[in-house]
Structure 1
Amino acid sequence: MLRRSRKPVVLAANKVDDQRTEAEAASMWNLGLGQPWPVSAIHGRGTGDLLDAIVEVLPQTSAVAEEPVGGPRRVAIVGKPNVGKSSLLNRLVGAQRSVVSDISGTTVDPVDELVEVGGEVYRFIDTAGLRKRVKEASGHEYYASLRTATAIERAEVCVAVIDASEEVSEQDLRILSMVEDAGRALVIAFNKWDLTDEERRRYLDREIERDLVQFQWADHVNISALTGRNVVKLRAAIDTALEGWETRVSTGKLNAFLGRLVAAHPHPLRGGKQPRILFGTQAQAGPPTFVLFTTGDLDAGYVRFVERRLREDFGFRGTPVQVEVRPRAKRS
């Protein structure tokens, strides 16, 4: 099969832990796949030479096309295992595109699908459920986690699916933080709404107030992928998040806002000194990133206050807002 593929083959002879077993590795010449490279995966022996051999046969240009610029908006469906991500994609597509099972971990590789929702075409990416942090995962879970992180990076907006019939977990919060840290727009979909009763919904409201307070900027949609309840409402939430994600504020408007803010709420005194915001600019959109040039370091609480007021004045619904502080260099 390797010969028929007509692809370069690098043959690694593993478990060669010392020079005595190198002679045994030479017997692999009989396979007809070229030079065997003796290595020891457990000790790292010979891996440098193996990597050099791999680099030697790599093509100068990748055969995989880069992500095209433009086209349908890219939406990643993320969440922990068995919350209904694949069911949601299948509901959107109207066909059995992803395998659905009660056994968690059914989806391993991200699945792309062009989907029309409310007359608009989106590229949806169904991802593997994340059980653990990437560095804590092992085996296929580790690589599934890496692929999911890559899918989040590729996306413009993420739909984070949470099981409404269960308590909001630490893993749910970790996934939301992954999306925020990646700077992607966010929509939170509470799935399995058909399995909740009035009591569970009251508890869920309390959990949202208590645990999701740092994600108040993201829209929530209560859905049922099984019955199709409110799935079509995802389009409005996705469009709102993308609009906020791409919002730009002119430098003039931004500095007029900062002037009013500082006049009404100056930074507290620290050690007899009061840092001031000299001026600011929006460095980029997607996500909105602002740079504040100041006379000194600003307290983290004051930076959060500025971010909150930016949201109140300019919107930014459904997107993280990043504020960077650049203190003026001290004169020597």
Structure 2
Amino acid sequence: MKPVLALVGRPNVGKSTLFNRLTRTRDALVADYPGLTRDRKYGDGKVGERAYMVVDTGGIGEGDDGIDGPMGDQARQAVAEADAVLFMVDGRAGLTASDELVARELRSLNKPVYLVVNKVDGVDENIAAADFYSLGLTSQHRIAASQGRGVNAMMAEVLAAFPDAPEHSPGTEEQGIRVAIIGRPNVGKSTLVNRMLGEDRVVVFDMAGTTRDSIYIPFERRGQRYTLIDTAGVRRRGKVHETIEKFSVIKAMQAIDDAQVVILVVDAREGITDQDLSLLGHVLQAGRSLLVAVNKWDGLDASHREQVKSELARRLEFAPWARVHYISALHGTGVGDLYALIERAWQSAFTRIPTNKLTSMLEHLVAANQPPQVGRHRAKLRYAHLGGTNPPRIIIHGNSLDSLPDSYRRYLENRFRDLLKLEGTPLKVEFKSGDNPFEGKGNQLTERQVQRKRRLIKHVKGR
């Protein structure tokens, strides 16, 4: 599982700049997940093959309430969720009383704390960092977050403390198909888990927020192994008051990353909400297979059902491949059919297609619908191969592929999905143009041609 890193420190020390650098984004507000407060931001990052999650916080240690105010509460929650803490200070401003307050609390933690002295560009690093040794934090890094200086070296040391996450290979692991059940509180997630298992394995109570952590439940059904992951409900911001519930948000996000198939449970009486769409955004970012289970379907009349279906179709236009299934977790209606959908989505996500078959499909699609001509040139699509699974990635090679319009790219993606009979999984189609060895050379002659021309001229003059 990806390590979680928390950025803490007083205001204006460069936390948001470092957050953007680590997540490779331009805006510190990377993702507005439901249940997150205004002062905590979550983002994913990667250094080489090592992935991690970053939690940004508002400035603490200054103002009327100091570290004990609302900002301090947010920082404590982020630190409690994290595996390591990056404590940022301003190298130009020097050591302040607020830094000492924050350091005093961080020293009492039983987790790694790295002191990050920011803004050392343009100043003597040794002088800028000298005062901060008095904080008693031995691991110190000097960086310039705005320029990226020293950031890679810092992350190499931070991530070295965490073992590489084991790779999950389909069909060979004891966990089987990993299925995460996600959704807002009180939509029936735990009831659905119990119904799928056929026994009361998860506490169910008619009060939002019963599940406080992600629960992994391995089991076997008809010879197929599964692991159900029951996650805590993710609330809309502004309705999260209990500290322990706030800790569960990141567990739900990690469960999505760890799953192979995700079931989003939606309350049919409320329809799909903005919070549901925010969760779907993280599922899409993670590239996971997706099923939408519309729960509490039995209690709706015909007109209400049509209204819900119409609204779902409209709001899920960005993910038309997602399978929508209507159930009643309490009474068991439609729950048994979920297993077939899960297996088809899993098989689609890990499908293996030979290169010759994909290339043959590509030739058929191009013959049926030639790419449009742009200017004097028409893109040439030569061959295709599988670039990865979960989700499937098809890489198409050819010439002048940058000129392909979005409409033609969508045509290829949709037709490949139909031909491969993919269900419930995203499909990524990438294009790679071959390099033209004569591009940019104009009428310039090669060295061999120049030598040949010289010999010809010399021979003519000799005659």
- Normalised TM-score (structure 1): 0.76
Q: What residue number does 1:4 align with?
A: none
Structure 1: tracts of 5 or more residues without a match: 1-9, 11-15, 40-44
Q: What residue number does 1:255 align with?
A: 359
Distance of 2:339 and 2:197 partners within structure 1? 14
Q: What is the one-letter code of the residue matched to 2:252?
A: T
Q: What residue number does 1:245 align with?
A: 349
Distance of 1:262 and 1:59 partners within structure 2? 48
Deviations along 1:137-160, one digit per CA (max 9) or x if unpaired, are 996566433222211111111111
Deviations along 1:269-327, one digit per CA (max 9) or x if unpaired, are 23443222122111122221111113221322222111100011111111111111122
Q: More relative contact order in 1 or in 2 (CA 8 Å, sep 6+)?
A: 1
Q: What residue number does 1:70 align with?
A: 173
Deviations along 1:183-203, one digit per CA (max 9) or x if unpaired, are 212222111112222111110
**2:50 maps to 1:50:** no
Structure 2: tracts of 5 or more residues without a match: 1-83, 85-94, 116-131, 141-153, 441-463
Q: What residue number does 2:213 align with?
A: 109
Deviations along 1:66-101, one digit per CA (max 9) or x if unpaired, are 879612211111122221111111222344433334
Pick from 391, 413, 417: which aligns with 1:311? 417
Distance of 1:20 and 1:213 partners within structure 2? 48
- Normalised TM-score (structure 2): 0.56
Distance of 1:46 and 1:83 partners within structure 2? 51
Map 1:265-280; keep pairs closer than 5 Å. 265-280=369-384
Q: Assess if the C-alpha contact under 8 Å between 1:117 and 1:235 holds in 2.
A: no
Figure out how many residues of one structure are paired with residues of the other and give that number. 300
Q: What residue number does 1:130 align with?
A: 234
Q: Assess if the C-alpha contact under 8 Å between 1:80 and 1:131 holds in 2.
A: yes
DSSP-derived class of the 1:186 partner: strand
Q: What is the one-letter code of the residue matched to 1:283?
A: G
**Aligned-residue identity in percent:** 35
**89-98 or 277-286, which moves further after superposition?**
89-98
Q: What residue number does 2:97 align with?
A: 18
Question: 1:329 offset after TM fit, Å?
Answer: 3.3
Q: What is the one-letter code of the residue matched to 2:405?
A: D
**2:234 maps to 1:147:** no
Q: Assess if the C-alpha contact under 8 Å between 1:92 and 1:115 holds in 2.
A: no
Decide whether aligned partners of structure 1 residues 144 and 248 sit closer, same or farther in structure 2, where only a CA change above 3 A counts.
same
Q: What is the one-letter code of the residue matched to 2:97?
A: D
Q: Assess if the C-alpha contact under 8 Å between 2:185 and 2:232 holds in 1.
A: yes
Distance of 1:150 and 1:300 partners within structure 2? 32
Question: 1:237 offset after TM fit, Å?
Answer: 0.8
**2:196 maps to 1:92:** yes
Distance of 2:360 and 2:135 partners within structure 1? 57
Decide whether aligned partners of structure 1 residues 194 and 327 sit closer, same or farther in structure 2, where only a CA change above 3 A counts.
same
DSSP-derived class of the 1:232 partner: coil
Distance of 1:307 and 1:193 partners within structure 2? 33
Question: 1:208 offset after TM fit, Å?
Answer: 2.8
Map 1:170-185; keep pairs closer than 5 Å. 170-185=274-289
Pick from 427, 431, 444: which aligns with 1:325? 431
Decide whether aligned partners of structure 1 residues 265 and 21 sit closer, same or farther in structure 2, where only a CA change above 3 A counts.
closer
Answer with 1 or 2: which has the greater Rg. Answer: 2
DSSP-derived class of the 2:181 partner: strand
Pick from 211, 216, 219: which aligns with 2:315? 211
Deviations along 1:98-130, one digit per CA (max 9) or x if unpaired, are 333444333231111123445643110011223
Q: Assess if the C-alpha contact under 8 Å between 1:118 and 1:235 holds in 2.
A: no
Decide whether aligned partners of structure 1 residues 208 and 21 sit closer, same or farther in structure 2, where only a CA change above 3 A counts.
closer
Q: Assess if the C-alpha contact under 8 Å between 1:190 and 1:220 holds in 2.
A: yes
Question: 1:205 offset after TM fit, Å?
Answer: 1.9
Q: What is the one-letter code of the residue matched to 1:173?
A: L
Map 1:164-203; keep pairs closer than 5 Å. 164-203=268-307
Distance of 1:66 and 1:329 partners within structure 2? 34
Q: What residue number does 2:92 align with?
A: none
Decide whether aligned partners of structure 1 residues 80 and 21 sit closer, same or farther in structure 2, where only a CA change above 3 A counts.
closer
Deviations along 1:195-219, one digit per CA (max 9) or x if unpaired, are 2221111102212332223333232
RMSD (CA atoms): 3.9
Decide whether aligned partners of structure 1 residues 141 and 329 sit closer, same or farther in structure 2, where only a CA change above 3 A counts.
farther
**2:329 maps to 1:233:** no
Q: Assess if the C-alpha contact under 8 Å between 2:271 and 2:312 holds in 1.
A: no
Decide whether aligned partners of structure 1 residues 17 and 202 sit closer, same or farther in structure 2, where only a CA change above 3 A counts.
same
Distance of 1:46 and 1:128 partners within structure 2? 41
Distance of 1:278 and 1:20 partners within structure 2? 60
DSSP-derived class of the 1:213 partner: coil
